[in-house]
Structure 1
């Protein structure tokens, strides 16, 4: 038996952020898919190994890092292309969801996007899709997950659809940005989705994220995490535990807080707090020496 082979194991799941969509995290060793079709866009990312499949009269081999997109209603198969099998993550995206994103990108009605038969080989796109899939699966940060999904799917549309939707121009709008900032900062413990944020300013999710990121330099979830860190500093200075501060600031857990804090300050929050405590202690105990400072005397030269 080959110890390095993949198992036959699949986890199908859904996210409330993508109504009617199915997702799967799976690995297969000797499973073979018979000819079948889906009424959704099938967007897999091969993470390891390789899969072969028949699609539109041709035989294809999708290796690790590739994105073998299958259009809705198109018959295809699936099997291992290497001895070990393959591991992948798959989005089954409803047609209306993809159509709406294409329309949001261009600002006008778009026909149903269609993708070429050839396998998409785009390492950056594959990375974006994997990030979105993992965030959706964990369910820890809905704002980051929805933003990552919109980013990944619009990247797929903008780079690889046969008829690529254009990007509608985006005007400066300080009032909308201020409203979104207020919505994100009002209650840092309250979960906020990208759809809810966009609704507060009357924009699509694509354009709300685009406007906010362009005007602030940070994506909405990154800006909110930065605000959480800023508001956490007084409690850390006062000596509160990192665990308590993380929970009170709206981070998922201590490791989530530590990761973002270190990206900002270069050190973990516990070390930052200890350094500040030592500085305060030094300031309290320091006393100026009780002696006169000697200054040299300067004599005026006489001729």
Structure 2
């Protein structure tokens, strides 16, 4: 299998938007989630995308819409390489999870990839949200646990402490959280650390400092966990460029 640092991929950013383009990759992800709305487009090969435990096989020309905080993984089929774009959008619009096979919407997506313009993004979101119901909200205990873990990366409270805070048995807290998010609290904490690390790397912080800020025990643990959930090394991710770099 190709080592992650040799995967041909780029990250392009502007405020509220990130575009990841990956070419001929066999790199797999662990199941994870994002705070942003994610929209993927398959360019070459096949991808098996599992959202909240339900698998879908995606083919060239397919789009997949993944709401914020929905657990998912998108991995190669039988180890064969695939190429894809992935958009991450900070938006209040919440379309439902869906696989879309529409030449018109695929062309709109590629227009976003070409320009990352607000107008192209708005047109794409308008097309995606037609006849689309928003995802179900999290239950109060799951939402509170999610927010607590996200804001306690370096020294998170124990699940026993959290369960008492919510007046629940620990087992009930864990089960409810997994039902609502598709993730265990421990997995969500690891993902939150990686997402925080991404934000600090985008801001230009030193990788060693980011490892500590994110709550990882050491550089090795940081690197291994980051690759597991991002399918990119911290250095690869840090070298992504802003759309303003084209000017």
Normalising by the residue count of structure 2, what TM-score does the alignment of the two structures yield? 0.48
* Structure of larger gyration radius: 1
Indicate the structure whose relative CO is greater, using CA pairs within 8 Å and at least 6 residues apart. 2
Normalising by the residue count of structure 1, what TM-score does the alignment of the two structures yield? 0.40
